[in-house]
Amino acid sequence: MTQSVIGLIAPEIPSDKLNIKFQEEIYRRKAAYIRYCHAEDGLKRILDNATVPFIILKGNAAAIYYKDPSRRMMGDIDFLVPQDKFSFARQLLIDNGYIINHESPVYSRHIGLTKEGICFELHHHFSHYDLDIESYLIDGLNNRAGIIIDGHDIPILPKLANGLVLLEHMRSHLKSSLGLRQVIDWMMYVYRELDDEFWESEFASVCREIGIDKLAITATRMCQLYLGLPETITWCKSADVKTCELLIDSLLISGNFGRKNGDGHSVEKVSTYIKSKGFFPWLQHAGEHNWQAYHKHHWLKPFCWLYQIFRYAKQGIKTGRNNKQLKSDIDRSKDRYELLKQLGID
């Protein structure tokens, strides 16, 4: 269940093997999907009435590629508005009963809001600091595609930009904990949209320009080798099999749908980052992210690394992880670092 693909597995389980607890979980997730779609409808009414263009990121924009979109587990409702409309959209949503639950001046691609138990993320950028696909998204905002799922009208990006979002989402989670949900989103997109012709005519050149072509090729070949993607797609056949093995191993060991990692995975993530960027840059990076006082008082920036040292010391006392667990985490970080290096995203 932690991989959040129960909706995909359930139809294939014989009815006599479905216990009551499992069935209840399926019904709960179906009900949650219905609430999710109605919340999305409400958001669309507000933004459309104020003539604020927007597109849905991930979520139903990924679910459209599934045989039954309701079987895809949903998280937050992520949506993107033009940068010059962001402040207006923020205030518009507040005026309509949305409550801000996180807004960081340091990592400010988006703000988080809630309404009636549903979480929303309002973006003015989607790209992470180390990879920029924003030009394709801005163009997509001006050339939106419309999809209908069970009567719900959903604005999404054109297929090229939508694919880049799903690939970048997978890439960003690789640095912490990639889950099956992100991989299957990509696999279903490839199955529905990314045939050899589209890859050769458009997608490949964009991926090479951005630097994520090796990830696209390797992840797709891994899906063929281990997850049932048809072999009719040939553009990924050049992938290195050993790298595919590293990727599936990382997915099965650490995958958790991208939720916040437990303590062990945190050690693994930190070790991987340190190998790639260095010890002090990690302390500074993590301190800037975690220290709430710095978010309000930017003059504290030179001391963020020191704050992070004390934070780790405090966490170490609380978690009490033994030497064997720590060694296992660090060993996994070596495999993850090797994987990232092979994929060209370390």
**Taking Cα atoms as reference points, which of 281, 35, 96 lies closest to residue 88?**
96
Higher per-residue pLDDT: 283 or 101 = 101
Higher per-residue pLDDT: 226 or 252 = 226
Rounded mean pLDDT, 3-31: 72
pLDDT at 75: 86
**Taking Cα atoms as reference points, which of 274, 292, 290 lies closest to residue 282?**
274
pLDDT band at 317 (very low <50, low <70, confident <90, very high): very low
pLDDT at 312: 67
pLDDT at 303: 79
Backbone angles phi, psi at 204, to 5 degrees: -60, -45
**C-beta separation of 156 from 79 below 8 A:** no
Higher per-residue pLDDT: 236 or 249 = 236
164: in domain: no
- The answer on pLDDT for 206 being more than 90 is yes
pLDDT band at 335 (very low <50, low <70, confident <90, very high): low
Please indicate, yes or no, whether residues 195 and 232 belong to a single structural domain of this protein.
Answer: yes
Domain boundaries, position 230:
176-259
- CA angle (220, 222, 223) in 5-degree steps: 65
Please indicate, yes or no, whether residues 69 and 216 belong to a single structural domain of this protein.
Answer: no
- The answer on pLDDT for 232 being more than 90 is yes
Please indicate, yes or no, whether residues 31 and 148 belong to a single structural domain of this protein.
Answer: yes
Residue 92 is part of a domain; what is its CATH number?
Answer: 3.30.460
**Quick count: other Cβ atoms within 10 Å of Cβ 53?**
15
pLDDT at 263: 37
Please indicate, yes or no, whether residues 249 and 284 belong to a single structural domain of this protein.
Answer: no
192: in domain: yes
306: in domain: yes
Please indicate, yes or no, whether residues 143 and 5 belong to a single structural domain of this protein.
Answer: yes
123: in domain: yes
Domain boundary residue among 157, 187, 209?
157
Q: What is the pLDDT of residues 292-311, one digit of tens each?
A: 788 778 788 887 877 877 77
Q: Write the single-letter amino acid at 243.
A: T
CA distance 207 to 215: 9
pLDDT band at 92 (very low <50, low <70, confident <90, very high): very high
* CA of residue 181 relative to chain centroid, distance: 9
Contacts of 321 (CB under 8 A, 6+ apart): 263, 264, 267, 329
| Dihedral angle, C-alpha 87, 93, 95, 96, nearest 10 ° | 170
Please indicate, yes or no, whether residues 144 and 39 belong to a single structural domain of this protein.
Answer: yes
Higher per-residue pLDDT: 107 or 285 = 285
pLDDT band at 261 (very low <50, low <70, confident <90, very high): very low
- Provide the number of structural domains found in the chain: 3
Please indicate, yes or no, whether residues 134 and 79 belong to a single structural domain of this protein.
Answer: yes
In the 3-class helix/strand/coil scheme, how is 17-46 assigned residue by residue?
A: HCCHHHHHHHHHHHHHHHHHHHHHHHHHHH
Report the DSSP pairing between strands 118-123 and 77-80.
parallel
CA distance 157 to 136: 9
167: in domain: no
Please indicate, yes or no, whether residues 20 and 150 belong to a single structural domain of this protein.
Answer: yes
Burial letters for 245-266: b for 16+ Cβ neighbours within 10 Å, e otherwise? ebbbebbeebbbbbeeeebbbb
pLDDT band at 15 (very low <50, low <70, confident <90, very high): confident
**C-beta separation of 5 from 180 below 8 A:** yes
- The answer on pLDDT for 145 being more than 50 is yes
pLDDT at 304: 82
Please indicate, yes or no, whether residues 82 and 148 belong to a single structural domain of this protein.
Answer: yes
- The answer on pLDDT for 11 being more than 80 is no
Token couple for 279: 């010890």
pLDDT band at 159 (very low <50, low <70, confident <90, very high): very high
38: in domain: yes
Please indicate, yes or no, whether residues 292 and 310 belong to a single structural domain of this protein.
Answer: yes
Rounded mean pLDDT, 117-140: 88
Domain boundary residue among 87, 122, 157?
157
- The answer on pLDDT for 324 being more than 80 is no
**C-beta separation of 57 from 126 below 8 A:** yes
Rounded mean pLDDT, 240-263: 70
Q: Write the single-letter amino acid at 34.
A: I
169: in domain: no
**Taking Cα atoms as reference points, which of 290, 237, 238, 256 lies closest to residue 174?**
256
221: in domain: yes
User: Which of 136-140, 156-160, 196-200 shows the lowest mean pLDDT across its residues?
Assistant: 136-140
Q: pLDDT > 90: what percent of the chain?
A: 46
- The answer on pLDDT for 3 being more than 80 is no
Please indicate, yes or no, whether residues 98 and 192 belong to a single structural domain of this protein.
Answer: no
- The answer on pLDDT for 320 being more than 80 is no
Rounded mean pLDDT, 147-175: 92
Please indicate, yes or no, whether residues 139 and 286 belong to a single structural domain of this protein.
Answer: no
Secondary structure of residue 76 in the 3-state scheme: coil
CA distance 143 to 267: 43
Token couple for 38: 């109605």
pLDDT at 279: 64
CA distance 246 to 235: 20
pLDDT at 251: 82
Report the chain's mean pLDDT, rounded to a whole number. 82
Q: Write the single-letter amino acid at 9.
A: I
pLDDT at 73: 85
Domain boundary residue among 122, 157, 192?
157
Higher per-residue pLDDT: 47 or 130 = 47
Q: pLDDT > 70: what percent of the chain?
A: 78
